[in-house]
Amino acid sequence: MIAITEDTVSAIVTTILTVGCLWLFYPAWAVLVAERVEWEIEQLSSDDTQRSKLPVLSVVIPAYNEQDRINEMICESFGYLSSPRGKLLLQRLLSCSKSKSKIPSEGLYPVVEWLIVNDGSSDSTCDVVRETYKNLIESTSKKNKNNENKTSACSVLDEEWKIVSLKMNSGKGAAVRTGMNLAKGMFHLMVDADGATTFGLGLENLTNELLKKQSITAGNNESDAKNRDDPMLTVFGSRAHLEKESTAQRSFVRTLLMKAFHFFVSLFVSSKVHDTQCGFKLFSKSASDLVFQTLHLRRWAFDTEIVLLCDKQGIEISEVAVPWKEVDGSKLSTSKLALAVASISMLRDMICVRACYMLGIWSVKRRHPSRHKN
């Protein structure tokens, strides 16, 4: 029989604690030692469609191996924004921005900036995006030729299209951060490439909430011109209203994991947000700059760090229900083991994020950061 000495026990305990700390703080040291995220920008829109105008809305679409889903998503989004309803929504956004004075109101219309962020895809995602853009332009040109009214909704949107390709797969968080920091629009919309959220109705719901929030903010800061002109605004799309229905359709294990995730989000991140993971979020530029110049997490749990950063930086989050549906082709395995591992990893990330900010390992950027982008 092998005698277990006190030194052996001490060594085992030390090893367990060391491995545990390394595992718990893995997201922090992974960011520290990982290679810098690098990217290349491919301009799809030609020079003759570019005007010296600040975009009203930047649509940031992170995409990793999305060749089967991104075409439909882009077509739906473009179709809405080039419609009369979409044009009206953009004008409403323009009306509440401090930068509206930079854009002549007569004869010119709001610009939309599209940033498709390719997260090191190994399929034909970029080729599909290029082909989709080409088909949209051809379709729009044909409609304009057959339409005597040259100010039709299809012809007024002067759009900027870019593919931002990360040189290696770096995670959804890294893709969103890159796109948001490159975006020039007065408002930044983060939207998933799968098209799970109905774009038009979803954006209208977020915009209505944002404008209502902007009005309240302006009313509460009548003596503070800086806050009134440059409010920190963010609105999250939420699927919380679908929770009862989804619970009825999910297995017991998935329902248990979902409820456990919500519990730990409220414990370690915030109890103010019911759905952190919906990939449909709208930010004013000032709020986007502040959050995404600070964001560290590169993988799935980055949404929870966004919530924590908003809380620490005094940016109030509003939630609003959006139409949402399940879409085939999820990158997350639906097996019970894979879901359990993913849930544990996200819990680890949430604890790590909270600890890193509490211990001062990560610092929080303060309001009114420099607008300069590297």
Mean pLDDT, residues 18-27 taken together: 86
- The pLDDT confidence band at residue 368, using thresholds 50, 70 and 90, is low
Query: What pLDDT score does 101 carry?
Result: 46
Confidence check: pLDDT of 305 > 50: yes
240 compared with 184, residue with greater pLDDT = 184
Query: What pLDDT score does 23 carry?
Result: 84
Query: What pLDDT score does 182 carry?
Result: 97
| Residue carrying the six token digits 């990939």 | 279
Confidence check: pLDDT of 142 > 60: yes
Question: Do the domain assignments include residue 210?
Answer: yes
Same domain (yes/no): 326, 241: yes
- Helix (H) / strand (E) element for 116: namely strand 111-118
- Helix (H) / strand (E) element for 43: namely strand 39-43
CB 279 within 8 A of CB 196: yes
- The pLDDT confidence band at residue 341, using thresholds 50, 70 and 90, is confident
Query: What pLDDT score does 277 carry?
Result: 87
Confidence check: pLDDT of 275 > 60: yes
Mean pLDDT, residues 35-56 taken together: 78
Same domain (yes/no): 27, 115: no
Task: For residue 257, give Cα distances in angstroms to 195, 343, 353.
Answer: 24, 7, 20
- The pLDDT confidence band at residue 253, using thresholds 50, 70 and 90, is low
Question: Do the domain assignments include residue 363?
Answer: no
AA identity, residue 46: S
Same domain (yes/no): 17, 137: no
Task: Note the pLDDT tens digit of each residue in 157-184.
Answer: 468 999 999 999 999 999 999 999 999 9
- The pLDDT confidence band at residue 57, using thresholds 50, 70 and 90, is very high
Same domain (yes/no): 226, 118: yes
Query: What pLDDT score does 337 carry?
Result: 75
Query: What pLDDT score does 51 carry?
Result: 54
* First-to-last C-alpha distance (Å) of the chain: 64
Distance of CA 317 to the CA centre of its chain: 14
Q: Number of C-alpha atoms within 13 angstroms, CB side, residue 46?
A: 3
Lowest mean pLDDT among 104-108, 306-310, 351-355: 104-108
Q: How far apart are CA 254 and CA 247, in angstroms?
A: 8
Question: Do the domain assignments include residue 250?
Answer: yes
Query: What pLDDT score does 25 carry?
Result: 86
Question: Do the domain assignments include residue 79?
Answer: yes
Mean pLDDT, residues 18-46 taken together: 85
Query: What pLDDT score does 116 carry?
Result: 98
CB 59 within 8 A of CB 184: no
Mean pLDDT, the chain, whole residue set: 82
Lowest mean pLDDT among 138-142, 218-222, 287-291: 218-222
Question: Do the domain assignments include residue 374?
Answer: no
The contacts of residue 292 (CB under 8 Å, 6+ apart) are 176, 177, 180, 181
Q: CATH number for the domain including 267?
A: 3.90.550.10
CA dihedral for 293, 121, 82, 235, sign (positive or negative): negative
Task: For residue 327, give Cα distances in angstroms to 121, 192, 324, 330, 358.
Answer: 19, 11, 9, 7, 38
152 compared with 168, residue with greater pLDDT = 168
Q: Is 113 helix (H, G, I), strand (E, B) or coil?
A: strand
Confidence check: pLDDT of 52 > 80: no
- The pLDDT confidence band at residue 107, using thresholds 50, 70 and 90, is very low
Task: Note the pLDDT tens digit of each residue in 65-103.
Answer: 999 999 999 999 999 998 999 999 999 988 876 554 454
Same domain (yes/no): 264, 177: yes
Same domain (yes/no): 25, 154: no
Lowest mean pLDDT among 22-31, 66-75, 285-294, 333-342: 333-342
Question: Do the domain assignments include residue 368?
Answer: no
Question: Do the domain assignments include residue 102?
Answer: yes
**Domain tally for the chain?**
2
Confidence check: pLDDT of 48 > 70: no
Q: Which domain holds residue 24?
A: 1-33
Lowest mean pLDDT among 134-143, 270-279, 336-345: 336-345
